[in-house]
A and B are shown apart, each in its own frame.
Chain A
Amino acid sequence: MISEFLFYEEDASKDEKSNYVNLKIEIRQLLKDDFNRKVLSEVLLDLRKDVSGDTQKRLFKLYQDLGLHTDNFEKLKSWRWEVVSKAILNLTQMQVSEAYSFVTKFINHKRATIRKQAELAIVTLKPEGINYFLDTTKYRISEWQQLKLMDVLRNEEDYQPPRFKAWLTSTNRHVVLFALRLIKFYNQNDADAALIELVKHKNSQIKEEAIACIKEFRIVEAIPTLKLVFWKSSTDVKISILGAIGALGDESDIEFLQLIEKKEANFSVRSKAHSSINAIAPGSIMPSKGVVKSDKYTIPADIKIKVEEEEELEEINIETSSEIELSIDSVEEIEQINDFKEQEIEEGTDIELYLMNETIDSKQETIDNEVKTDAMKENQESLNQENNEPVSKELSLQENETLSFDFLPLVVEEVLETEIISPKEEAKIDLNDIVVNYQEVTIEKEKPSLEITEEEIAFLPIVTEMIEESYVVDSIKDQSEHIAFINEIEITFEEVSSTPKDLNVSPLLDYSEYSTAKILDTTVVYDEILERDNEDQIDPYFLSVSPDSPQEDTMDAKSNVHHESSKSYDNMESQEEQNFKKIIKDLIDFNASEPSEETDKETQDWPWLEFGDEFVDTSKTSEIDSEEILDEQENDSDAEIEEVPAKVKLTIPKAVLSDEIFDEIIEYKENTEESRMQLLDDLAEMGDERELPLLNELLVNEKYTTVKDRVKSLIEKFSEQEEKPEPDTLLKPFNVFEDLFRTCDTEAKLILMDEIVAVGDEGEIDFLEGLLENQETEISNKAAQVLEELKAKLSISDENNSDESPSTPIDNKAVEKIEVLIEEETLAEYDSLMEELQIQPPQTPEIFDLTFELTEPFEETADENTTEKSSSQESFFGQICAFSNKIIDKLNG
């Protein structure tokens, strides 16, 4: 029946058509039964897997025509996840595109199975499904799911992929990762900038995928970013980056790769760096690990070279190599002789030169003969002596590749070269001499006669030729002139280097001096320039340190820079001496306080910063001032001890200028009207009444009327300040109890009032009087009671105070009385508190009645702890009493 439906053709015969219609009616009837529907659905789903092409399409069509897909829609509503999942799968398999909108709501289903099925479904059912999925998915996309989705997309017919770069900005990093993979898969190379940015992503997977894309699309612009992120990446990412750099980089990146090779700890990264370097510049790094040195490879003894000629050549090679060593020694000998000859020529005459050449030539001739005979006698017997290249030719013919005869042809080639070049390079006569020696050998090979010819003499030397040239050049001059010539060259160099500095800095330099100046002279001049530079650089700071500079006009400062700086510098030196003397005197005579010592030390170290310190570091100066004031006022009266610090605190920020400082300022400062006015401005701003004597002095000595007026106004201002009462004395003292009263209930208030009696003073009287008018009768009554008690307590203490003379120090007896009173009061208070709190303290503290003596410190502390635990209240009061005793002891010294 199914086959009939599937393979029904429109052009069928009438019988077939009628049969088809009958089957349709029949199947509709059958499908009314759920079981039949189920069976048919299964059959169609099964067939779907085996058939393809047109038949498959007909199958899908039949499935929907029979309305079997509606069953799946119903299943989507099921609460069972497996049913829903199966339904989505069926709809997907049967390509029911109508299901798309139904399935999309499962895209962010909490159950992963349904979610994944829905994802596959929407991607399969509609081409735009992937867009919807990437836009809306919130969950992670597993690797497997990504593969499945990609497989679906891959098998799509006529699929036009969207530009996946749109999802590189997604907040879901899995979407970004998947988009990257899709970009790579579909070769969408239009997201270069985004890819470069994603290399900086904190997620390594995304990084790697972005790097893979960069490598794939050959985005060379990403290399700087790759280098940037390299150091903070994981090993895998580092390897990916190196791979990308190796693929995209050029020779400018080799330096970076070499840096990695040096800095990187991980060996796999290092080896990847090697491979990247080799990828950019092939063969630049050769394998080294596990590679045995070629020296250690020896030909086994049992394998003999069968050809006799080869054996001969091997021997020759060994012998010649040893002979060459000898010849090198002899060359050194010649070199020494040549040096000697050079010296001689510098001093000497043509005759001497001739003689020396003759002797050298004769000696060299013998050496050359040795070399020639040693090196060539065995292997060159068969050679034609007039031929220049027979050695190499013969060697190649003998196929002795392992034996190194390279030096022989090299010698021949270099002979010709050095013959031409050597006369021009007389100055560089060191190693060339060795080559020259080889040259001789071959020349003699070419011209075997042992007679000393003029050609040989001419050749010999590089040395001789140089000598000749230098001789020609310097023949007129003597040795000292020659040295002078060298000096001149160096001086010229110095002149060039120092010229721009001269233009900028100093007009004092005479250029004419340079032409005759020696090197030392020029350096001295240069040092001077440096000093001047330093001075000029220091000047601004120096001026800023000076007392009036902060408010000084910058134009004036510029105009007088040099003058003022030098002047002030002189002043500073004299002041430094004075300060130093003063410091020593202070150290000997006076046991100064620590801060002042510190400032003295500072002035010692940095004398020119003295003013600056005093100006800038106001806290230090104020400390000193306050201490000085304290000392003075302590001598005046002890009663003022408590008041003075408060006063000092108020004046600290203003007490900036002391008399000493001002004197120094006056000394230093030019006595101009303007400067004085500025100083007075400073005083007005920062000074106080303590500047009055100074101002009076100024008033007397001042000659400018404007300054006088200003001084007068300042005196008036400061004298007013002096007369003014201290503002804080008018302030109402802070009352702890008042503050606490605001937040607590009636019971707590009553307890607090008891505490007022215990610890309160006259400050609490006002507060208690205020409480008398309280609406709550309990509180007002209690306040009245407490007020009486407090007044009584204060009157007792007043009496005690009046008994004692205020000017004399506190007497021991008085202290004892106070102590007793405090104890009595605290105990009474303690009792009342205990009563209120309904706590029954132990009447007889038996625990203190110890029958043994505590000797061990450990036991003592243990005992103390137990007492504290047993009666914390009692120990607290004990501590208070002890504390008061301690205070009294301290006061008594």
Chain B
Amino acid sequence: MGKKRLLLAEDDELLAGLLNFRLEKGGYEVKLSSDGREVKEHLTTYSPDLIISDIMMPYFSGMELIDYVRKELNLSTPIIIISSAGNEENVLTAFELGANDFISKPISPSELLVRIERELQKV
């Protein structure tokens, strides 16, 4: 069984690098994207098992990305949203648009791994 492919969309390079390191170390194949447009491009050529996205990104926000995946691409790929703007409104909107999970920053990489594992098991 091959590695699960993850798409990580995070504009903060430090955090992205850290998470990338941890996720790869956790046995996942990770594609990094630093903005929303790049994520769109990736998605046209690459179909991940799970998408991890920040909300606030250049060009395309995390919310728009959910909407794009669910409505335009009609994909049921699990989406985990990570954001420092963990207010109720964002969380509710994200779930309404079709996000599978929401993690507020600061995030614990260990926790993220557990959540990814859980979502992948659902699929």
- A/B pair count, beta carbons within 8 Å: 47
A189 within 8 A of B: no
* Cβ–Cβ < 8 Å partners of A4 in chain B: 21
Given contacts A7-B21, A7-B22, contact A52 B15 (CB under 8 A): no
B107 within 8 A of A: yes
The A-contacting residues of B in range 12-53, CB under 8 angstroms, are 12, 14-15, 17-18, 21-22, 25
* Cβ–Cβ < 8 Å partners of B14 in chain A: 43, 46-47, 50
B4 within 8 A of A: no
* Cβ–Cβ < 8 Å partners of B22 in chain A: 3, 7
The interface bits of chain A over 41-66 (1 if a CB of B lies within 8 angstroms of the residue's CB, else 0) are 00100111111111110000000000
* Cβ–Cβ < 8 Å partners of A52 in chain B: 106-108
Closest to B111 in A: A53
The B-contacting residues of A in range 527-555, CB under 8 angstroms, are none
A51, A53, A54: the one contacting B18 at CB < 8 Å is A51
CA distance A51 to B110 in the complex (A): 10
Closest to A59 in B: B18
CA distance A56 to B18 in the complex (A): 12
CA distance A50 to B111 in the complex (A): 13
B109 within 8 A of A: yes
A7, A47, A54, A56: the one contacting B15 at CB < 8 Å is A47
CB distance from B60 to the nearest CB of A (A): 21
CB distance from B13 to the nearest CB of A (A): 10
CA distance A214 to B82 in the complex (A): 44
Closest to A8 in B: B25
Contact check, A55 vs B109: say whether CB atoms are below 8 A apart: yes
B71 within 8 A of A: no
* Cβ–Cβ < 8 Å partners of B108 in chain A: 51-56
CA distance A7 to B108 in the complex (A): 12
Contact check, A6 vs B110: say whether CB atoms are below 8 A apart: no
* Cβ–Cβ < 8 Å partners of B25 in chain A: 7
CA distance A873 to B117 in the complex (A): 115
CB distance from B36 to the nearest CB of A (A): 19
Report which residue of A3, A6, A50, A54 has the largest number of chain B beta carbons within 10 angstroms of its beta carbon. Answer: A50
Contact check, B106 vs A56: say whether CB atoms are below 8 A apart: yes
The interface bits of chain A over 835-852 (1 if a CB of B lies within 8 angstroms of the residue's CB, else 0) are 000000000000000000
A698 within 8 A of B: no
A3, A46, A48, A55: the one contacting B110 at CB < 8 Å is A55
Closest to A3 in B: B21
Contact check, A54 vs B21: say whether CB atoms are below 8 A apart: no
The A-contacting residues of B in range 68-123, CB under 8 angstroms, are 105-111
A3, A6, A51: the one contacting B107 at CB < 8 Å is A51
CB distance from A52 to the nearest CB of B (A): 4
* Cβ–Cβ < 8 Å partners of A6 in chain B: 18
CA distance A629 to B118 in the complex (A): 124
CB distance from A883 to the nearest CB of B (A): 97
A641 within 8 A of B: no
The interface bits of chain A over 130-167 (1 if a CB of B lies within 8 angstroms of the residue's CB, else 0) are 00000000000000000000000000000000000000
A887 within 8 A of B: no
Contact check, A49 vs B109: say whether CB atoms are below 8 A apart: no
* Cβ–Cβ < 8 Å partners of A318 in chain B: none
A748 within 8 A of B: no
Closest to A43 in B: B14
A2 within 8 A of B: yes
CA distance A47 to B13 in the complex (A): 10
Closest to A2 in B: B18
CB distance from B37 to the nearest CB of A (A): 23
Query: Which bucket holds chain B's interface residue count?
Result: 10 to 19
Contact check, B15 vs A3: say whether CB atoms are below 8 A apart: no
Given contacts A43-B14, A47-B14, contact A53 B110 (CB under 8 A): yes
CB distance from B121 to the nearest CB of A (A): 22
* Cβ–Cβ < 8 Å partners of B106 in chain A: 48-52, 56
CB distance from B30 to the nearest CB of A (A): 12
CA distance A2 to B20 in the complex (A): 12
CB distance from B61 to the nearest CB of A (A): 18
CA distance A864 to B107 in the complex (A): 99
The B-contacting residues of A in range 212-252, CB under 8 angstroms, are none
CA distance A173 to B21 in the complex (A): 53
CA distance A52 to B86 in the complex (A): 15
* Cβ–Cβ < 8 Å partners of A54 in chain B: 108, 110
CA distance A2 to B15 in the complex (A): 11
Closest to B24 in A: A3
* Cβ–Cβ < 8 Å partners of B107 in chain A: 50-52
CA distance A52 to B107 in the complex (A): 5
The interface bits of chain A over 1-15 (1 if a CB of B lies within 8 angstroms of the residue's CB, else 0) are 011101100000000
CA distance A53 to B115 in the complex (A): 15
Contact check, B18 vs A47: say whether CB atoms are below 8 A apart: yes
CB distance from B57 to the nearest CB of A (A): 15
CB distance from B3 to the nearest CB of A (A): 18
B12, B17, B105, B111: the one contacting A3 at CB < 8 Å is B17
CA distance A7 to B20 in the complex (A): 12
* Cβ–Cβ < 8 Å partners of A55 in chain B: 18, 108-110
CB distance from A666 to the nearest CB of B (A): 107
Contact check, A50 vs B105: say whether CB atoms are below 8 A apart: yes
Closest to B103 in A: A52
CB distance from A221 to the nearest CB of B (A): 42
CB distance from B90 to the nearest CB of A (A): 17
Closest to B104 in A: A52
CA distance A653 to B33 in the complex (A): 113
CB distance from A20 to the nearest CB of B (A): 13
CA distance A53 to B110 in the complex (A): 8
CA distance A53 to B108 in the complex (A): 5
Closest to A54 in B: B110
CB distance from B16 to the nearest CB of A (A): 10
Closest to B10 in A: A50
Closest to B22 in A: A7
* Cβ–Cβ < 8 Å partners of A43 in chain B: 14
* Cβ–Cβ < 8 Å partners of B17 in chain A: 3
CB distance from B113 to the nearest CB of A (A): 11
CA distance A54 to B106 in the complex (A): 12
CA distance A55 to B105 in the complex (A): 13
CA distance A51 to B25 in the complex (A): 17
CB distance from A465 to the nearest CB of B (A): 80
* Cβ–Cβ < 8 Å partners of B15 in chain A: 47, 50-51
CA distance A469 to B110 in the complex (A): 102
CA distance A55 to B108 in the complex (A): 7
The B-contacting residues of A in range 780-823, CB under 8 angstroms, are none
CA distance A4 to B110 in the complex (A): 15
CA distance A56 to B21 in the complex (A): 15
CA distance A193 to B17 in the complex (A): 58
CA distance A4 to B17 in the complex (A): 11
CA distance A52 to B12 in the complex (A): 16
* Cβ–Cβ < 8 Å partners of A49 in chain B: 105-106
CB distance from B105 to the nearest CB of A (A): 6
CA distance A600 to B34 in the complex (A): 114
Contact check, B21 vs A50: say whether CB atoms are below 8 A apart: no
CA distance A51 to B108 in the complex (A): 5
* Cβ–Cβ < 8 Å partners of A7 in chain B: 21-22, 25, 109
Contact check, B110 vs A50: say whether CB atoms are below 8 A apart: no
CA distance A49 to B18 in the complex (A): 13
CB distance from B68 to the nearest CB of A (A): 25
CA distance A53 to B18 in the complex (A): 14
* Cβ–Cβ < 8 Å partners of B12 in chain A: 50
Task: Give 13 CB contacts A-B under 8 Å.
Answer: A3-B18, A3-B21, A3-B22, A4-B21, A6-B18, A46-B14, A48-B106, A50-B14, A50-B107, A51-B15, A52-B107, A52-B108, A56-B106
Q: Beyond A50-B106, A56-B106: 12 further Cβ-contacts under 8 Å? A: A2-B18, A3-B17, A4-B21, A7-B22, A47-B14, A47-B18, A51-B107, A51-B108, A52-B108, A53-B108, A53-B110, A55-B110
Hey, which bits of chain B sit against chain A, CB under 8 A? Answer: 12, 14-15, 17-18, 21-22, 25, 105-111
Hey, which bits of chain A sit against chain B, CB under 8 A? Answer: 2-4, 6-7, 43, 46-56
Sorted nearest first, the 8 A-B pairs with minimum C-beta distance are: A53-B108, A3-B21, A52-B106, A50-B15, A52-B108, A50-B106, A51-B106, A3-B18
